[in-house]
């Protein structure tokens, strides 16, 4: 009887638990809609103020005109070429920064001499505006992809190093001592304990580094000219092409949003085992 009663209570509990899902889904949808309202209000005000002449159409062209320009750029393949070049430079710089930053951050926590050498460099370089090095990169590497990718990597690597070091140093030392006492070597320790434990904070550093890489790429394209979203915006401004400038802003905003959302999705995928990825057990 106890087994039957237990199974009955389990059956009765399932609909109750299942009934929570529509409520949670509705709450999630409501949060998303509420989060989009400020943006919708902004674009509506943009269109109305420009159409009614409150703001000069040269200073602020209507959103519909800007979107029409974006569509024309898409049909002419200009958008795809510029977007492809910008994403290539930004993601290449980010990849270099990600690999180099994680490796250097881990090594700095494991080797005293490496830390002694690089710690002052990281301490000085992290807070300073590294875009000031752009003229040096232009002199050394020219005006093409190598200098733009290098600038993106140089700016994006510092958040990754700092996040990796903080994550590796925050691991419980007793856990490392226990693993060593059980015969774990340095490689096994790194692969099975240090990297998994540090991964959440490393991903946070990567989420900071990705927009930095995109921003620096756009700035370098603006200053060096040539193809790319930043170069297209500067060219439009030189010819007083106001819709072209604002079209570039919209294109950069959408591309940046997609990159940020993609990194957030990758974080959820890699940290599916972590507590932050678990669904709440209460309403």
Q: What is the pLDDT of residues 150-174, one digit of tens each?
A: 999 999 999 999 999 998 888 777 7
The CATH number covering residue 261 comes to: 1.10.3720.10
Q: How far does the chain reach from its first CA to its final CA, in angstroms? A: 32
Parent domain of 19: 2-51
Instruction: Report the pLDDT value the prediction gives residue 282, as an integer from 0 to 100.
Output: 40
Instruction: Report the pLDDT value the prediction gives residue 162, as an integer from 0 to 100.
Output: 94
Instruction: Report the pLDDT value the prediction gives residue 46, as an integer from 0 to 100.
Output: 84
- Same domain (yes/no): 41, 75: no
Contact 46, 67 (CB under 8 A): no
Contact 247, 66 (CB under 8 A): yes
Instruction: Report the pLDDT value the prediction gives residue 90, as an integer from 0 to 100.
Output: 96
- Same domain (yes/no): 25, 85: no
Number of domains in the chain: 2
In a domain, 216, yes or no: yes
- Same domain (yes/no): 76, 34: no
Among 205, 190, 204, smallest CA distance to 100 is for 205
Instruction: Report the pLDDT value the prediction gives residue 22, as an integer from 0 to 100.
Output: 67
In a domain, 197, yes or no: yes
pTM, 2 dp: 0.81
Residue 35 CA: distances (Å) to CA of 103, 127, 231, 266, 279: 37, 32, 32, 22, 21
- Same domain (yes/no): 41, 68: no
Instruction: Report the pLDDT value the prediction gives residue 101, as an integer from 0 to 100.
Output: 95
Series of mean pLDDT values for 10-residue runs along the chain (283 residues): 42 42 69 79 86 83 91 90 95 96 92 91 90 91 90 95 90 74 74 83 93 95 88 91 92 93 90 64 41
In a domain, 192, yes or no: yes
Instruction: Report the pLDDT value the prediction gives residue 15, as an integer from 0 to 100.
Output: 41
Sign of the alpha-carbon dihedral angle for 90, 96, 102, 108: negative
Instruction: Report the pLDDT value the prediction gives residue 254, as an integer from 0 to 100.
Output: 93
In a domain, 151, yes or no: yes
Instruction: Report the pLDDT value the prediction gives residue 13, as an integer from 0 to 100.
Output: 42
Instruction: Report the pLDDT value the prediction gives residue 24, as an integer from 0 to 100.
Output: 66
- Same domain (yes/no): 32, 72: no
User: Given 31, 51, 71, which residue is the final one in a domain?
Assistant: 51
Kindly state the tokens that stand for 22: 């529509």
Instruction: Report the pLDDT value the prediction gives residue 14, as an integer from 0 to 100.
Output: 42
């Amino acid at each position: 009887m106890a087994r039957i009663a237990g199974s009955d209570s389990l059956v009765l509990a399932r609909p109750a638990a299942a009934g929570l899902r529509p409520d949670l889904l509705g709450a999630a949808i409501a949060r998303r809609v509420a989060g989009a309202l400020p943006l919708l209000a902004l674009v509506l005000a943009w269109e109305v103020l420009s159409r009614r002449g409150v703001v000069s159409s040269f200073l602020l062209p209507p959103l519909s005109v800007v979107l029409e320009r974006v569509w024309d750029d898409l049909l002419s393949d200009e958008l795809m070429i510029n977007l492809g070049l910008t994403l290539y430079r930004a993601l290449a710089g980010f990849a270099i920064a990600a690999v180099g930053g994680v490796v250097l951050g881990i090594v700095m926590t494991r080797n005293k001499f490496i830390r002694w050498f690089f710690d002052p460099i990281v301490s000085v370089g992290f807070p300073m505006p590294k875009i000031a090095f752009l003229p040096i990169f232009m002199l050394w590497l020219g005006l093409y992809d190598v200098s733009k990718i290098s600038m993106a990597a140089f700016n994006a690597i510092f958040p990754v190093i700092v996040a990796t070091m903080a994550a590796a140093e925050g691991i419980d030392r007793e856990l490392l001592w226990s693993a060593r006492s059980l015969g774990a070597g340095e490689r096994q320790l790194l692969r099975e304990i240090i990297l998994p434990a540090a991964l959440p904070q490393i991903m946070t550093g990567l989420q900071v580094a990705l927009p930095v890489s995109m921003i620096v790429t756009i700035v370098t394209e603006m200053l060096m000219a040539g193809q790319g979203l930043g170069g297209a915006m500067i060219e439009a401004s030189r010819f007083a092409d106001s819709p072209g400038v604002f079209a570039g802003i919209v294109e950069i905003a959408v591309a940046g949003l997609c990159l940020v959302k993609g990194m957030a999705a990758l974080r959820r995928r890699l940290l599916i085992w972590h507590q932050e990825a678990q669904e709440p057990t209460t309403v």
